[in-house]
Amino acid sequence: MLEVSDLRKKLDIIRQQAFINIEKINDLYELQVTKTQYLGKNSAINDILKSVTQLPHQYRIEIGQLTNKLKKEISDKITIKFNELEKKLIDEKLKDSEIDLTLPGLDFSIGHRNPLLKTVDDIANIFKNLGYQIVSGNEVENEEYNFNRLNLPANHPARAMQDTFYLDNNSKEVNRWLLRTHATNITARILSKQNKNKQKVEAVISLGNVYRKDNDDATHSHQFMQVDGFVVAPNITFANLKWTLNHFCQQMFGLETKTRLRPSYFPFTEPSVEVDVNCPMCKLQGCSLCKHTGWIEVLGAGMIHPNVFTAAGLDEATAGFAFGVGIERIAMIKYGIDDIRLFYNNDLRFLKQF
């Protein structure tokens, strides 16, 4: 017959031994072994718990409770020891490692789009929303599509060697190859695919690089970007062009933007206009951006010249309008940038501002 007082004593002894043993432990493996020894299936504590059923009824509860309490005390002690040993291990690892926690963290700065490409996307989206088709087109072009078919005759000053990059300066060919001087070449190419007898309604913009023999300075670059667009449709009028230009400028520079059309000259349009917007910097008050006029020129446009239609093999009475925009110029006005070269230099101090 089990003696209850023996059991009480046994529990006390286990407690004392366990506490002393746990206190002495110095590594996690040993702690795990000790845990199994005191709390595992074959532990003395478990044996006592199993034997509780053999006790006289009045002692079962007392011994049961005492045993469970001891289990909890030992388990708590082991947890405390575990945390202590683990912290020690981490501290030691950190002490030995090369990591210097006092160093400042790495800079995870995220890149973003160049303001010029952002402007390209913005322009494309404005016209996409109006149902225009977006194309990029060829940058290497010949005189036929860059000049002849756009009503720029052979003696036109824009064709001169000081303006145009010819691929071969010594070529004696009639139709020499060149780097396109404007994106209007795409208009000539697309119109020439139209069918004279079955006119198709077409609204297209092309975006891309163009090249001119300019000396680079704050406002000129030998390579820059243009959007060139046109619409051909029966009965299209100058009023449609005016609405389109107004819409474009307001979407680009804000809904309060005012536009002003001035008569101008382009060989491929008649009548031709240049379009100004009220200066977004000074709102018509006059500042250095608008050269104190309150207005800034943003694009050229007009009704497509009958000679352009006939050169494309179409009826000269075909109706259509066209426009051309310098993209850098738009970005410079929109973001208040005063030097075109900043777009191409990849200077992070500049790029990070957008």
Enumerate binding residues for ligand DAH (CB under 6 A): 182, 184, 228, 266, 269, 300-302, 322-324
Cβ at position 304, least distance to ligand DAH in Å: 7
Cβ at position 136, least distance to ligand DAH in Å: 16
Which CB sits closer to ligand DAH, 323 or 343? 323
What residue is closest to ligand DAH based on CB?
324
Which CB sits closer to ligand DAH, 67 or 208? 208
Which CB sits closer to ligand DAH, 43 or 185? 185
In Å, the largest CA–CA distance within the chain is 127
How far apart (Å, rounded) are the C-alpha atoms in residues 128 and 204?
9
Which CB sits closer to ligand DAH, 38 or 147? 147
Cβ at position 266, least distance to ligand DAH in Å: 4
Which CB sits closer to ligand DAH, 56 or 157? 157
Cβ at position 252, least distance to ligand DAH in Å: 17
354 near 335, Cβ under 8 Å?
yes
Place of tokens 């002003």: 260
Helix residue ranges per DSSP H, the chain: 4-24, 28-39, 44-51, 57-96, 115-129, 143-146, 185-191, 238-253, 306-311, 327-335, 348-351
Nearest to 22 by CA among 85, 110, 112: 85
Kindly compute the dihedral angle of the four CA atoms of residues 327, 333, 334, 337, in this order, to the nearest 10 degrees. 100
How far apart (Å, rounded) are the C-alpha atoms in residues 167 and 111?
36
DSSP track, 90-140: HHHHHHHSS--TTSPPP--PPP---HHHHHHHHHHHHHHHTT-EEE---SE
Which CB sits closer to ligand DAH, 70 or 322? 322
Cβ at position 303, least distance to ligand DAH in Å: 9
How many CA atoms lie less than 13 Å away from 48 in the CB half-sphere? 30
Cβ at position 286, least distance to ligand DAH in Å: 26
Which CB sits closer to ligand DAH, 301 or 330? 301
Cβ at position 150, least distance to ligand DAH in Å: 8
